């Protein structure tokens, strides 16, 4: 009689990754989420500080130029982010099943695809940057500045994409601390080098706005070199050596999953961005004071969203490893812990923001601005919507671990457009401008309801558990090489 093979468990610390499939769920989630949240905060602060350097040292035309250039980069980043998220899920499943070599194959294909695309886009971007800026309608007084900035940012793109892929891959392996450390290094370098290159302080050349882009590119590449050195020095799971470097040539079996799941994931970012643009268009029609008030509120909302995003990423990584390890009972525990953590953290942050709203808003508007009272009103009507939306992020984070992506895209589209904008247009005659601010919590309620309905359907669990990392590994090792399988501890 043939005995069924023992399923290999997660490789654990001795293989350089963190096991997310055992131990207290809440403690594991918080340990993973906090460094991710800190990374997001650092990234946002980095952008804010660099904008201050550009605005103060060069002027408003230069600041407008960076806004136009960054809009182009966001569109490109959205696509790469989707592919990276899809690869992270597949890698997490492989790590959960103990299939280190299969995780490396997925990682190699994702890196080869994304960095290859980034290199092509960098060349085309350098050549077509003038046409891109014309397409965006970049104001003439800032066009030359935007062109100089954008071209250098395009040069930095391949390194930036590789850094993103490494960070996402490490999170898939359960390690959220290492990406945080090197994000911190990048931010410190960027913030320090920006004024030096812009103004030509000391031995540094005076490059103006090109100096801002040069500082960012240099900081990114230096951080990337440090991260790669660390990965190989510690022999972390994602390192590729010898024949494994061949994994960087994307394989059809991997690309089918990465592209098929990555496109709808990236589309979610584009959908949210387009909805934001639509809302700004509506706000602009309410007048200058409304635009200023909404702009200040948005600055604070950026930070309100971060806890849920970090917790959702944790739910996705933990869920992927649980599916790979065939522990379906852990999925509901992950979702429950994520929702509780979101309610506590986002709820506390929202409460603090509403208590000290005036002090926070005057940082952007000034103490005597007539927009401050309206901004406070907007905060009280709409800020709590992010607590509700956090529930959606957590549930879809867990479902994403099972490869569910289209349900998220559909739910997001319905909540942002028919629900949010429909609410505004239907109730604008009765509520006035308040219809727009109340449309935010209404849209969040619709999104949460759709997420709960989708989550309660059992089909996604069976579909996720049917994805066998062992089968993927066997297909990849058709030549008989089984070196990547991690044997269970005896």
β-bridge partners, 368: none
Q: Which of 4-13, 411-420, 423-432, 442-451 comes out lowest in average pLDDT? A: 4-13
β-bridge partners, 99: 485
pLDDT at 181: 95
Most confident of 70-74, 134-138, 306-310, 485-489: 306-310
pLDDT at 344: 96
pLDDT at 79: 67
What confidence category does residue 6 fall into, taking pLDDT thresholds of 50, 70 and 90?
Answer: very low
Non-local (6+) Cβ contacts of 394 within 8 A are 308, 311, 312, 315, 335, 338, 339, 342
Q: Rounded to a whole number, what is the distance in angstroms from the first to the last CA of the chain?
A: 22
Q: What is the pTM of this model?
A: 0.83
The CA distance from 150 to 173, in Å, is: 34
pLDDT above 90: residue 124 = no
Task: For tokens 């040539």, name the residue.
Answer: 249
Contacts 24+ apart (CB under 8 A), 47-51: 49/191, 49/194, 50/190, 50/191, 50/194, 50/212, 50/216
Please state, in angstroms and as integers, the Cα–Cα distance from residue 7 to each residue in 91, 165, 238, 285, 312, following that order.
17, 28, 22, 61, 28
What confidence category does residue 177 fall into, taking pLDDT thresholds of 50, 70 and 90?
Answer: very high
Q: Which of 68-77, 308-317, 393-402 comes out lowest in average pLDDT? A: 68-77
pLDDT tens column, 272-288 = 888 887 888 888 888 88
Do residues 338 and 193 lie in contact, with contact meaning Cβ atoms separated by under 8 Å?
no
Report the percentage of the chain scoring pLDDT > 70: 85
**Section 243-249 average pLDDT:** 92
What confidence category does residue 106 fall into, taking pLDDT thresholds of 50, 70 and 90?
Answer: very high
pLDDT above 70: residue 484 = no
Q: Which two tokens stand for residue 8?
A: 């290999």
pLDDT tens column, 135-162 = 766 667 677 877 888 888 888 888 888 8
pLDDT at 233: 94
What confidence category does residue 245 fall into, taking pLDDT thresholds of 50, 70 and 90?
Answer: very high
pLDDT at 158: 85
pLDDT at 70: 67
pLDDT tens column, 319-335 = 999 998 889 889 999 99
pLDDT at 458: 75
**Section 45-60 average pLDDT:** 72
pLDDT above 60: residue 10 = no
**Section 213-236 average pLDDT:** 92
Q: Which two tokens stand for residue 473?
A: 């590994």
Q: What is the DSSP letter of 3?
A: P
Most confident of 300-309, 342-351, 470-479, 481-490: 342-351
């Amino acid at each position: 009689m043939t005995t069924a093979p023992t399923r290999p468990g997660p490789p654990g610390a001795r293989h350089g990754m963190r096991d997310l499939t055992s131990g207290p769920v809440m403690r594991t989630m918080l340990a993973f989420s906090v460094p991710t949240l800190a990374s997001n905060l650092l990234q946002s602060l980095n952008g804010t500080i660099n904008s201050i350097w550009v605005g103060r040292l060069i002027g408003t035309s230069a600041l407008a130029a960076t806004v136009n250039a960054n809009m182009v980069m966001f569109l490109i980043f959205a696509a790469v982010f989707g592919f990276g998220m899809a690869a992270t899920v597949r890698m997490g499943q492989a790590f959960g099943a103990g299939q280190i070599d299969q995780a490396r194959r997925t990682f190699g294909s994702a890196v080869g695809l994304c960095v290859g695309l980034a290199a092509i886009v960098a060349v085309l971007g350098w050549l077509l940057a003038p046409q891109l800026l014309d397409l965006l309608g970049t104001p003439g007084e800032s066009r030359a500045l935007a062109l100089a900035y954008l071209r250098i940012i395009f040069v930095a793109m391949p390194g930036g994409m590789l850094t993103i892929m490494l960070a996402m891959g490490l999170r898939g392996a359960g390690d959220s601390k290492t990406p945080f450390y090197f994000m911190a290094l990048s931010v410190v370098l960027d913030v320090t080098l920006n004024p030096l290159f812009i103004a030509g302080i000391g031995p540094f050349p005076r490059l103006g706005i090109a100096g801002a882009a040069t500082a960012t590119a240099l900081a990114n590449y230096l951080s990337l070199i440090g991260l790669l050195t660390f990965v190989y020095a510690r022999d972390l799971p994602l390192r590729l050596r010898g024949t494994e470097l061949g994994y960087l040539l994307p394989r059809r079996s991997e690309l089918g999953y990465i592209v098929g799941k990555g496109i709808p994931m990236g589309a979610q970012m584009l959908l949210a961005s387009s909805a934001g643009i639509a809302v700004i268009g509506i706000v602009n029609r309410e007048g200058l004071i409304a635009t200023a008030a909404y702009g200040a509120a948005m600055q604070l909302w950026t930070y309100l969203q971060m806890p849920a995003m970090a917790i959702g990423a944790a739910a996705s990584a933990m869920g992927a490893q649980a599916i790979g390890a065939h522990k379906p009972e852990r999925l509901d525990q992950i979702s429950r812990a994520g929702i509780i953590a979101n309610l506590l953290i986002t709820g506390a942050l929202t409460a603090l923001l509403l208590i000290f709203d005036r002090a926070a808003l005057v940082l952007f508007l000034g103490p005597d601005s007539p927009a401050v009272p309206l901004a406070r009103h907007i905060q009280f009507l709409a800020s709590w919507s992010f607590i509700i939306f956090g529930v959606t992020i957590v549930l879809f984070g867990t479902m994403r671990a099972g490869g569910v992506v289209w349900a998220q895209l559909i739910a997001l589209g319905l909540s942002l457009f028919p629900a949010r904008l429909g609410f505004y247009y239907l109730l604008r005659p009765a509520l006035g401008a308040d219809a727009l601010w109340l449309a935010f919590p209404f849209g969040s309620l619709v999104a949460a309801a759709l997420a709960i309905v989708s989550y309660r359907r059992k089909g996604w669990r069976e579909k996720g558990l049917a994805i066998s990392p062992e089968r993927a590994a066997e297909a990849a090792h058709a030549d008989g090489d089984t070196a990547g399988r991690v044997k269970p501890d005896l």
